[in-house]
Amino acid sequence: MMDEQHIASAFDRDLEGIQARIMKMGGLVEEAIRNSASSLEARDEEMAAEVRAKDKVIDALEEMINEEAARLIALRSPTAGDLRLVLSVMKISGNLERIGDYAKNIAKRTGVLAQVPPVNDSASALRRMAREVDLMLKDALDSYIQRDVELARDVIERDLEVDQMYNALFREFLTFMMEDPRNITPCMHLHFIGKNIERMGDHVTSIAEQVVYLVTGDRVDDPREKGDKTSVTPVEG
């Protein structure tokens, strides 16, 4: 009995350490979302460079979480419920890493766009879209810590708003490009950024879906129709 209690307490301690890293990673990703969008709007190349540099820290945390989770599974032989928790943690860290990559990709475009005239208030609109994703991520992480299924489901529903914002921007960019050929290059970069933010929302949704699975054991198997009605997906760079 004592051995089982010891193993359980050791598992809990190890898991606590992994979850602390998840929250640290989440905080860095939230900051990356905000700063990548702010650097775009302010044409702040220094801030954009900082976003790109800090992505290495996010990547390192994901690698550390995966290594610690794999070791936890190997050494502690978790029960089915505990195993589900560890696997969910690994998937959440993977989604956070991808969101960080999208923020880095946005920051890469800031230097290019800073050299050309702004296209209407597109950068401000993209920052507002990123702000919505940032708020969704905060709530998704809160739902994970609190095991709050209702909050997680609310995050999943809110992704439709992000898709609608992206669709509206996509139509605007097409209009600007048709009005003036000089807008084509900047609008292509801006569309790339909008698509990256839309994909961030998809990964936040995946985190929320992991919370639902973790708490209920059920997959979110009735996915809503995607709100992204465009057919153009830029290649990542």
Q: Give how many domains the chain has, as a whole number.
A: 1
Q: What pLDDT sits at residue 18?
A: 93
Asked if 233 and 195 count as a contact pair (C-beta separation under 8 A), the reply is: yes
Q: Is residue 114 domain-resident?
A: yes
Q: Is residue 225 part of a domain?
A: no
Does residue 127 belong to any structural domain of this protein? yes
Percent of the chain scoring above 90 in pLDDT? 74
- Residue 120 counted as domain residue: yes
pLDDT higher than 50, residue 203: yes
What range does the domain containing 72 cover? 2-216
Is it the case that residue 138 has pLDDT exceeding 90? yes
Give the model confidence (pLDDT) of 156-178 as tens digits: 999 999 999 999 999 999 999 99
Q: What is the chain's mean pLDDT, rounded?
A: 90
Query: Average pLDDT for residues 136-157, to the nearest whole number?
Result: 97
Asked if residue 222 is part of any domain, the answer here is no
In this structure, are residues 76 and 10 in contact, taking their beta carbons and an 8 Å threshold? yes
For residue 199, what are the contacts with CB-CB under 8 A and spacing of at least 6? 98, 102
Q: Does pTM surpass 0.75?
A: yes
Rounded Cα distance, 166 and 227, in Å? 9
172 found inside a domain: yes
The CATH number of residue 77's host domain is 1.20.58.220
Q: Does 50 fall in a domain?
A: yes
Is residue 229 in some structural domain? Answer: no
Residue 7 CB burial class (10 angstroms; 0-12, 13-18, ≥19): middle
